[in-house]
Chains A and B, each alone.
Chain A
Amino acid sequence: SYVLTQAPSVSVAPGKTARITCVGDNIGTYSVHWYQQRPGQAPVLVIYYDSARPSGIPERLSGSNSGNMATLTISRVEAGDEADYYCQVWDSSSYHWVFGGGTKLTVL
């Protein structure tokens, strides 16, 4: 089955840019979705179809996807961005949703 790999943690200072990656075989041929999960809360969709933002999600969050890597970029990081972030794709070969293992973003 399809596997998505995320780094367990990323740290960034306030005001800087955080890049959270999601690695998968030819992931560029998939549509990637990203979720933010703050402690004790349900996940929230922040990016869908690689780079689209749902209403209410700030423009500071952006996504890209090419080759074997998808990336969630958070510009001008704020304390409130501290959360776990998960990537997700639909694996049509197994007819499964697949999540990455998640990346914990720490704001220093």
Chain B
Amino acid sequence: QVQLQEAGPGLVKPSETLSLTCAVSGASLNSATYYWNWIRQPPGKGLEWIGFFYFSGGPRYNSSLASRVTISADMSQNHFSLKLTAVTPADTAVYYCAREEVGRAFDSWGQGTLVTVSS
């Protein structure tokens, strides 16, 4: 059974870079069967898709964040990462990683990690 676990700092200063990793067990990042996604949820608000990494096609980003986002993967560690530059308090959110079977939906999610942007 696949498991995903987010990790990273819970507090980031404005204008700095938010960096998170998602450790995956029970599935391989270098499978052509899955996309590996990041999603965020500001406190009290809805879900926003950030982007995904796909072994057979590389990353794809939400156009509203594309200028600040990088999603990459470390196959040797079987984890994938999110970097979001030049953060502001509007980037405060719970960040989730999730697996998507190609052509289907997000069938497995991490527990989420709260990142607060504040000085």
Residues of A within 8 A of B (CB): 1, 33, 35, 41-45, 48-49, 54, 86, 88, 94-102
Contact = CB atoms under 8 A, between A and B. Distances in A.
A105 B75 CA distance: 40
A101 B46 CA distance: 5
A43 B112 CA distance: 10
A35 B107 CA distance: 10
Contacts of A54: 107
A99 B46 contact: yes
B74 interface: no
Interface residues of B, number: 17
Point out which of A33, A41, A42, A88 has the most chain B C-beta atoms below 10 A from its C-beta. Answer: A42
Contacts of A48: 104-105, 107
Nearest to A47: B105
Nearest to A46: B105
B111 interface: yes
Given A42-B96, A48-B104, A49-B104, A96 B109 contact: no
B109 A95 contact: no
A42 to B, nearest CB: 4
Contact of B111 (A42, A86, A100): A42
Interface in B47-93: 47-49, 60, 62-63
